[in-house]
Amino acid sequence: MKLSPREAEGYFAKPDAGKTGLLIYGADGMRLALKRQQVLAALLGPGAEEEMRLTRMPGSDLRGDPTLVLDAIKAVGFFPGPRAVFVEDTTDAVAPALISALEDWAPGDAQIIVTAGQLKPSSKIRKAFESHANAYAVGIYDDPPSRAEVERIVSTAGLQNVPRDMMAALSELAVSLSPGDFAQTVEKLSLYKRDDPSALSIDDIEACAPQSNEAALDDVLNVVAEGQPGQIGPLIRRLQAQGTNGVTLCIGATRHFRTLYACASDPGGAAQGIGKLRPPVYGKRRDRILRQAQGWGAPKLQTALSVLTDTDLALRSAGQTAPAMALVERAMIRLAMLARSR
């Protein structure tokens, strides 16, 4: 049977021990690993590895011995409790072995948990699980995690006292990070807040969130928007050392100033405009963007966007001769001087 993404989220949390098996497939190996860990933990409970109730095998092993998985599901363990056989990284080359195991499975046998890469609808493995009356197949796609999934990760990590707005901030962070990085960040937050009864704050999240080129890019954009031309050169050198190019910096600046313009041009004022931003912004970043939008005003922000558009066109021009980063740095300095004008 085929499970939809919405149905799958509930099943991963509470899998049915009486089912024959589960196929999890998709292009992102980290997403597959996280879902597989979740379903095995929920299905087998604690101590499954130590009690030998979980048998692991790579799919490639079935090429040499197709009976491995069938023998494993029929084996009787020494410890009571549910059992599972986990077959990792399978392909259609081992489909006959898995199909045989599905056909010969009987109540009381170990459940078959299989992971695979991206499978076409014509895949033999996918067809076998989707057409089986007592097995499930789930496709894992690169969609942003749902609010329920973020709440599950937070709960699993033991992170407590999370206000609603901070849960929204974590949901926003989950969109920008890979699944593995987000899970590690929440684990880090849980340790960071250990023995701290206060509510989770935006400062806590910023202290634990991974640093990247985006942070350095934000530093440049903030000094430009706040009229500090003297700091632009050193920050741009740092971005260059990290591999950022002129086009990337120009695109980031354009995005930032469009955000400021959306706030400043709102009929209800910048304070009302910032509340309409999607995705929303919180904490110190919200205060900073609001202060910048109010300081610039809509007319000057229009001029800034014109400067950035001209710079972008120059960067993409076939006749460009000046170094790209030099063109962008000159535009950044011009904008910083514009910010200081009255």
The torsion angle over the Cα atoms of residues 226, 227, 228 and 233, rounded to 10 degrees, is 100
The dihedral of CA 147, 153, 154, 155: what is its sign?
A: positive
d(CA 22, CA 190): 31
In Å, how far are 63, 88, 108, 170, 174 from 53, measured between CA atoms? Answer: 24, 17, 13, 35, 33
* pLDDT tens, residue order, the chain (342 aa): 998 877 888 899 899 999 999 999 998 888 898 899 999 999 999 889 889 999 999 999 999 899 999 999 999 878 888 999 999 999 999 999 999 999 999 999 999 999 999 999 999 999 999 999 999 999 988 777 778 888 888 988 889 889 988 888 888 888 777 788 888 889 999 999 988 889 998 888 878 877 554 556 888 888 899 888 888 888 888 787 777 788 888 888 998 999 999 998 988 888 888 888 877 777 777 888 888 888 888 899 999 999 999 998 888 876 667 788 888 889 999 999 988 876
Helix (H, G, I), strand (E, B) or coil at 310: helix
Which of 1.10.275.10, 3.40.50.300, 3.40.50.460, 3.90.870.10 is the CATH number of 5-140?
A: 3.40.50.300
Q: In the prediction, which pLDDT does 84 show?
A: 95
Contact 207, 219 (CB under 8 A): no
Q: Which of 341, 309, 339, 340 is nearest to 327 (CA)?
A: 309
pTM of the model: 0.58
Q: Which CATH topology does 213-340 take?
A: Zinc Finger, Delta Prime; domain 3 (1.20.272)
pLDDT for position 213: 44
- Give phi and psi for 114, each to the nearest 5: -125, 135
Q: Cβ of 277: how many Cβ atoms within 10 Å?
A: 13
Domain boundaries, the chain: 5-140, 147-208, 213-340
Distance CA 164, CA 175 (A): 17
Angle between helices 283-316 and 213-225 (to 10 degrees): 90
Q: Tell me the DSSP string of 118-182.
A: ---TT-HHHHHHHH-TTEEEEEE--PPPPHHHHHHHHHHTT-----HHHHHHHHHHHHHS-HHHH
